[in-house]
């Protein structure tokens, strides 16, 4: 497997859950992974999953991968935006937001620049956050890092992304399409990591309310009736526990790092919920042992 470090920082990523997901993925004989809420796709990078179908509200995540596939170069023809200074950061943010506002009028070259700029902003933004306002504009302040390291060898990523496919920028519609066209079956594993109930949900500017949570759980439950293994995550709020149990999911609670406080020593663990279907209790228990370092 072509395991690599996730190139994007992402608050709330499931990097910490990689041992659990990895154990299940290998046990299921390395299926396609379907990720309707991509984010940084940290577990998929760390495991080296060769076949991933992903979607996210932030379409620039797709443009970033397109840029990587073409070599991930910082071309001087588009100006210097990646220096570790407030001036360069603000210049990059302005350029990125201007490109975002062009929407569907973006040329293929514009999309590559958008993906590149998202990467450079992410490396220097406060706590490595990726946040967009309702206009779709990047709105995270400068992070003031002493040093910023950029990836210079993108070849391992190019090899990994060769089998990754972009499904669209609306995860709900993507899942509805998947159910309606019978494109999901037992050789795929769904890993659904939506914005958490009761937490911050505005990273893309669209939000994700209680009604969206219910639609998602119902859709995942419908897909599960076809035998598709599913791992879903969310807050351990009683509303979510009741919702997923009502849709046939097994509930597991785990301690997870969720705080994004500036000081690392102020980041505390909180209980999160893992919801699974079509994963045997024996396999679930073994994956939990792997997560806890006992395998």
Nearest to 191 by CA among 50, 54, 10: 54
Average pLDDT (232-251) is 96
Range of the domain at 34: 15-57+154-291
Lowest mean pLDDT among 21-25, 51-55, 260-264: 260-264
SS3 129: coil
Look up the CATH number of the domain holding residue 221: 3.40.50.150
Q: Above 90 in pLDDT, residue 172?
A: no
- The set of residues, in sequence order, having a beta carbon less than 8 Å from that of 4 and lying 6+ positions away, is 45, 46, 48, 156, 157, 160
What pLDDT score does 152 carry?
A: 86
SS3 64: helix
Residues 90 and 43 in one domain: no
Report residue 108 as tokens: 């293929």
Report residue 233 as tokens: 């995550």
- Within a domain: 164: yes
The residue assigned the tokens 């494109």 is: 183
What pLDDT score does 269 carry?
A: 74
Lowest mean pLDDT among 30-39, 43-52, 193-202: 193-202
Using CB atoms within 10 Å of the CB of residue 76, give its burial: 0 to 12 exposed, 13 to 18 middle, 19+ buried. Answer: exposed
Lowest mean pLDDT among 51-65, 148-162, 250-264: 250-264
Domain final residue pick, 122, 153, 184 = 153
Average pLDDT (51-80) is 82
Average pLDDT (107-134) is 92
Domain final residue pick, 153, 188, 209 = 153
CA distance to 101, 172, 279, per residue, from 229 (Å): 38, 18, 6
What pLDDT score does 77 carry?
A: 46
More reliable by pLDDT, 47 or 2: 47
Residues 102 and 162 in one domain: no
Residues 203 and 281 in one domain: yes
What pLDDT score does 186 carry?
A: 56
Q: How would you label 96-108 residue by residue, b for 16+ Cβ within 10 Å and e otherwise?
A: bbebbeeeeebee
Average pLDDT (71-84) is 67
Q: Above 80 in pLDDT, residue 164?
A: yes
Average pLDDT (271-283) is 96
Nearest to 230 by CA among 199, 255, 265, 193: 193
Q: Is-contact 200 173, C-beta < 8 A?
A: no
Residues 260 and 126 in one domain: no
Residues 269 and 201 in one domain: yes
Confidence of residue 66 (pLDDT cuts 50, 70, 90): very high
What pLDDT score does 188 carry?
A: 87
Q: Above 60 in pLDDT, residue 128?
A: yes
**pTM for the whole structure:** 0.90
Mean pLDDT value across the chain: 87
Residues 168 and 37 in one domain: yes
What pLDDT score does 265 carry?
A: 54
| Pairing outcome for strands 52-55 and 230-235 | unpaired
What pLDDT score does 29 carry?
A: 93
Q: Above 70 in pLDDT, residue 262?
A: no
Q: Give the Cα separation of 116 and 125 in Å (integer).
A: 14
Using CB atoms within 10 Å of the CB of residue 94, give its burial: 0 to 12 exposed, 13 to 18 middle, 19+ buried. Answer: middle
Domain final residue pick, 153, 182, 210 = 153
- How many domains is the chain partitioned into structurally? 2
Confidence of residue 72 (pLDDT cuts 50, 70, 90): confident
Q: Is-contact 11 128, C-beta < 8 A?
A: yes
34 bridge partner residues: 53, 190
């Amino acid at each position: 497997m072509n395991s690599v470090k996730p190139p994007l920082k992402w608050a709330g990523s499931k990097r910490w859950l990689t041992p659990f997901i990895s154990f299940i993925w290998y046990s299921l004989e390395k299926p396609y992974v379907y990720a309707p809420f991509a984010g940084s796709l940290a577990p998929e990078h760390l495991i080296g999953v060769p076949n991933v179908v992903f979607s996210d509200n932030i379409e620039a995540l797709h443009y970033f991968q397109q840029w990587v596939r073409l070599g991930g170069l910082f071309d001087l023809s588009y100006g210097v935006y990646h220096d570790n200074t407030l001036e360069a950061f603000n210049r990059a943010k302005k350029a990125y937001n201007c490109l975002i506002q062009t929407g569907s009028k973006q040329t293929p070259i514009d999309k590559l620049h958008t993906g590149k700029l998202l990467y450079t902003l992410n490396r220097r933004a406060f706590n490595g956050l990726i946040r967009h306002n309702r206009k779709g504009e990047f709105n995270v302040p400068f992070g003031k890092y002493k040093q910023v390291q950029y990836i210079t060898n993108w070849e391992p990523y190019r090899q990994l992304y060769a089998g990754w496919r972009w499904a669209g920028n609306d995860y709900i519609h993507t899942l509805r399409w998947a159910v309606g066209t019978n494109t999901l079956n037992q050789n795929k594993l769904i890993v659904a990591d939506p914005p958490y109930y009761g937490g911050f949900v505005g990273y893309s500017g669209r939000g994700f309310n209680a009604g969206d949570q219910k639609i998602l759980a119902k859709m995942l439950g419908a897909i599960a009736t076809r035998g598709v293994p599913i791992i879903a995550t969310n807050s351990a709020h009683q509303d979510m526990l009741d919702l997923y149990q009502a849709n046939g999911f097994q509930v597991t609670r785990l301690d997870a790092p969720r705080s994004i406080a500036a000081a690392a020593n102020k980041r505390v663990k909180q209980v999160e919920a893992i919801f699974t279907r079509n994963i045997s209790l024996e396999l679930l228990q073994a994956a939990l042992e792997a997560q806890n370092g006992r395998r």
